[in-house]
């Protein structure tokens, strides 16, 4: 038995040293084992959980695993109201061909949006600038995470030219988070908006922006470019932020929306439900969005509410499937609190009916008539 007290089986038996080098190697191995045991005094091997104290509370319901047992997460069968049509049609195919030719990224495709076919056929699309790699890793999002490529300074020109070819009625422009950049990519954002307005004067432009880590000068660059609608998704209720958006802050996102409203802009937010929130927390969130500010305009004009769908087994699990009746109740409550538009339904996403919202809340109809 060696010094460590670990019994060696036949496969680990060291034969008599035929030379000095083998003996030296055995001494090094024994010394390594001794140091390991000094750092980890409990016996090696076996079940490490048997030596742990009982937990004060359990996080088992939030753990994803593929092992046998009662905690195994299996895919949940979707209810009938979550069935989406396969995208297709002439309008859809035409837009897809232009997207592919000009190498444009779309959230519609990246996130597998269930409304992609309907929106594209109607002349509404959501494109993603600043690459397809995000510097954050949110528990719900299927956009890949990692070190982004260098900024493509020609992207604003290429986006504007592509939008002119598409002949869209309404475009939603969004981006990944680029926290490694001093301005979070705001300069590219501003140039893309300005060029797109010049190339497509009859098209309404909505932006769905990140929080720029609270860099309000960067936000101002986007506001000054004058998109028709400025959107920023809260994604979930305040309590769920550590699990759902660990790199974001609820109050920081709320402040972003308020700054848009304070300057006369149309502000839009979006959340998903079915990820662990409670109905009363959704009601509280809507209250936060319409709470008075220095201008008494609240923080938001438009709110979208949709069902969370787990992209892969490695993402946060679905807590519940919210019924259409509950979505109707959210919409009624939001409008009663003072929100101008509430799009609430199982299949609703940030850009759902975005063109109708722009028509009703901005000056785009006057611009089209004038042109």
The single-letter DSSP state of residue 145 is B
pTM listed for this prediction = 0.74
Burial of 188 (0-12, 13-18, 19+ CB in 10 A): buried
The pLDDT score that the predictor gives to residue 337 is 95
Residue 7: the pLDDT is: 34
Residue 205 has what pLDDT? 97
Give the whole-angstrom CA distance, residue 121 versus residue 136: 32
189 touches 207 (CB < 8 A): yes
Confidence (pLDDT) at 58: 44
* Residue 135, token pair as written in the block: 């510097």
Q: For residues 6 and 99, what is the distance between their CA atoms, to the nearest angstrom?
A: 63
d(CA 120, CA 99): 11
pLDDT at 60: 42
Query: Residue with structure tokens 């979505």?
Result: 327
Q: pLDDT tens digits for 299-354?
A: 899 999 999 988 888 889 999 999 999 999 999 999 999 999 999 999 898 888 88
Burial class (CB in 10 A: 0-12, 13-18, 19+), 337: middle
pLDDT digits (tens, 9 = 90+) for 68-80: 444 334 456 788 8
Q: What burial class does residue 268 get, using C-beta atoms within 10 Å of its C-beta: 0-12 exposed, 13-18 middle, 19+ buried? A: buried
Pick the closest to residue 212 from 260, 166, 244 (CA basis). 260
Contacts with 132 (C-beta within 8 Å, 6 or more apart), sequence order = 105, 110, 143, 144, 176
Q: Any idea which residue has 């509404």 for tokens? A: 124
Q: Which residues pair with 105 in a beta bridge?
A: 128
pLDDT at position 32 is 56
- Stretches where the chain sits below pLDDT 50 are 1-18, 36-37, 39-55, 57-74, 293-294
């Amino acid at each position: 038995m060696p010094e460590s007290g670990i019994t060696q089986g036949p496969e680990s038996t060291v034969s008599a040293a035929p030379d000095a080098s083998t003996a030296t190697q055995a001494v090094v191995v024994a010394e390594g084992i001794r140091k390991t045991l000094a750092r980890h005094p409990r016996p090696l091997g076996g079940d490490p959980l048997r030596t742990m104290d009982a937990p004060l509370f359990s996080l088992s319901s939030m753990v994803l695993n593929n092992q046998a047992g009662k905690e195994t997460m299996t895919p949940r069968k979707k209810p009938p109201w979550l069935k989406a049509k396969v995208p297709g049609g002439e309008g859809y195919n035409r837009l897809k061909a232009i997207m592919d030719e000009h190498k444009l990224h779309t959230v519609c495709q990246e996130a597998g949006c269930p409304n992609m076919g309907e929106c594209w056929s109607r002349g509404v699309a959501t494109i993603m600038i600043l690459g397809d790699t995000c510097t954050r890793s949110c528990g719900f999002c299927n956009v890949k995470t990692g070190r982004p490529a260098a900024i493509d300074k020609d992207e604003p020109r290429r986006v504007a030219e592509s939008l002119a070819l598409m002949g869209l009625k309404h475009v939603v422009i969004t981006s990944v988070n680029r926290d490694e950049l001093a301005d979070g990519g705001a300069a590219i954002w501003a140039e893309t908006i300005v060029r797109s307005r010049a190339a497509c004067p009859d098209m309404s432009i909505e932006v769905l922006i990140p929080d720029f880590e609270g860099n309000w000068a960067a936000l101002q660059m986007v506001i000054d470019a004058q998109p028709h609608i400025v959107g920023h998704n809260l994604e979930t209720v305040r309590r769920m932020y550590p699990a759902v958006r660990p790199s974001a802050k609820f109050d920081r996102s709320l402040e972003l929306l308020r700054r848009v409203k304070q300057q006369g802009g149309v502000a839009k937010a979006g959340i998903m439900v079915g990820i662990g929130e409670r109905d009363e927390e959704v009601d509280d969130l809507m209250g936060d969005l319409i709470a008075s500010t220095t201008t008494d305009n609240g923080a938001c004009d438009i709110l979208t509410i949709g069902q969370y769908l787990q992209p892969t087994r490695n993402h946060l699990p679905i807590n519940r499937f919210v019924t259409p009746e509950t979505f109707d109740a959210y919409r009624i409550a939001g409008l009663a609190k003072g929100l101008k538009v509430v799009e609430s339904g199982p299949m609703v996403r940030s850009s759902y009916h975005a063109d109708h919202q722009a028509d009703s809340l901005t000056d785009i109809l006057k611009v089209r008539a004038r042109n």
